Amino acid sequence: MSDDDSDRLQFQRIGEKTIRLDLPPQDDEPEVVQKGLLDLFRAWLAQTPQERRVMPRHQTRPFQVWLGWKKKGDAFFANTARMVDISRGGAQLLVVDPPRERSRVWICLGKPDPSDCLEATVLEVRIVSQKVWTVRLAFREPCPHPFFEAAVCILSPSDARQASSSSLETGGDEG
């Protein structure tokens, strides 16, 4: 036993028994041990959040799309929606008349005539204001590049397809 260890030891006699008390080392104690649970929780909250999504969302400019779904049997209902953001795996829209959660929907580019459509599932419907709802969607398949590019860059679907095919023909970006 070293001298440092003997300084930290204390013995206390209780009746016929002697109890050994080991004092913690001075200034060698990790910071975590010195803090209480509340301090640890505050430190955890202060950490920078990590991106939880596998595919990050991209903001879109004010961009109108069609959102359609089946209502009451085979009746198909379509309404315009405003796209807030999009990723390869899903999108968030603002709508006036929302579909039900877990329902199958189709999101289509091109206003007034829908053209490119993607099938999606409604993950969440939440009210934003008195008449506006936010709808979170998960695409059934990864979002095709022309659709994604049209949404993020505000191109028409045909312009996005032409840009994609010309970049493939020329071997990518030339910048």
User: Is pLDDT at 172 greater than 70 in this prediction?
Assistant: no
Domain-located, residue 22: yes
**Winning range, highest mean pLDDT, from 54-63, 104-113, 165-174:** 104-113
Residues 75 and 35 in one domain: no
pLDDT tens per residue across span 53-83: 567 777 887 778 899 999 887 888 989 999 9
User: Look-up: residue for tokens 């030891």?
Assistant: 9
Answer yes or no: is 53 within a domain.
no
**How many distinct structural domains can be found in the chain?**
2
Residue 126 identity: R
Q: How many helices (H) and strands (E) does the chain have?
A: 5, 8
* pLDDT the model gives residue 151: 84
The answer on pLDDT for 174 being more than 70 is no
Is 102 within 8 Å of 122 (Cβ atoms)? yes
Residues 6+ apart with CB under 8 A from 71: 77
Give the per-residue pLDDT at 173. 46
Same-domain status, 143 and 73: yes
72 and 119 inside one domain: yes
Buried/exposed 117-151: b ≥16 CB within 10 Å, e otherwise: bbebbbeebeeeeeeebbbbbebeeebbebbbbbb
In this structure, what token pair is assigned to residue 82? 């405003």
Structural domain harbouring 140: 58-169
Give the HSE-up count for residue 111: Cα atoms under 13 Å, Cβ half-sphere. Answer: 17
pLDDT of residue 150: 84
Span between the terminal Cα atoms of the chain, in Å: 70
Question: Could you count the other beta carbons within 10 Å of the beta carbon of residue 69?
Answer: 18
Number of Cβ within 10 Å of residue 66's Cβ equals 19
Return the CATH number at 155. Answer: 2.40.10.220
3-class secondary-structure state, position 130:
coil
Assigned domain for 37 exists: yes
Give the model confidence (pLDDT) of 34-47 as tens digits.
Answer: 567 777 777 777 77
What single letter denotes the amino acid at residue 157?
Answer: P
